[in-house]
Amino acid sequence: MTDPIAPPVHRDPDLPRHPVCTGCAVPLAEPYGWCANCRAAYCPACGAGHYCTATCPTAGCHAGLCVRLVRDGQVLRDSWGMVE
């Protein structure tokens, strides 16, 4: 007989236990954004406008593209930006 209980979700160890938006200092609940380049958490509004460096816009980067969605303690790696 198989165990009907699903295996536990393992938190990504790089994510903060109690995330706070780097842009506006608001405590965050999932889902929220995570920039692995800056190692920083963002709310949807701040994440959508995030650039890692001041040179990103002139280098052709798109605001918020490096911010990925966090859900169930894991970074959703299939898509770039704050999309589900």
Q: Determine, yes or no, domain membership for 57.
A: yes
Helix (H) / strand (E) containing 33: strand 32-35
Give the pLDDT of residue 54.
92
pTM value is: 0.81
In a domain, 48, yes or no: yes
- Indicate the pairing of strand 40-42 with strand 74-75: unpaired
Query: For 28-83, what is each residue's pLDDT tens digit?
Result: 999 999 999 999 999 999 999 999 999 999 999 999 999 999 998 888 877 778 77
Q: Which domain holds residue 73?
A: 13-84
Per-residue confidence (pLDDT) for residue 20, from 0 to 100? 97
Q: Kindly state whether residue 80 falls inside one of the protein's structural domains.
A: yes
Whether residue 17 is predicted with pLDDT greater than 70 in this model: the reply is yes
Q: How many domains does the chain have?
A: 1
Structure confidence at residue 14 (pLDDT): 83
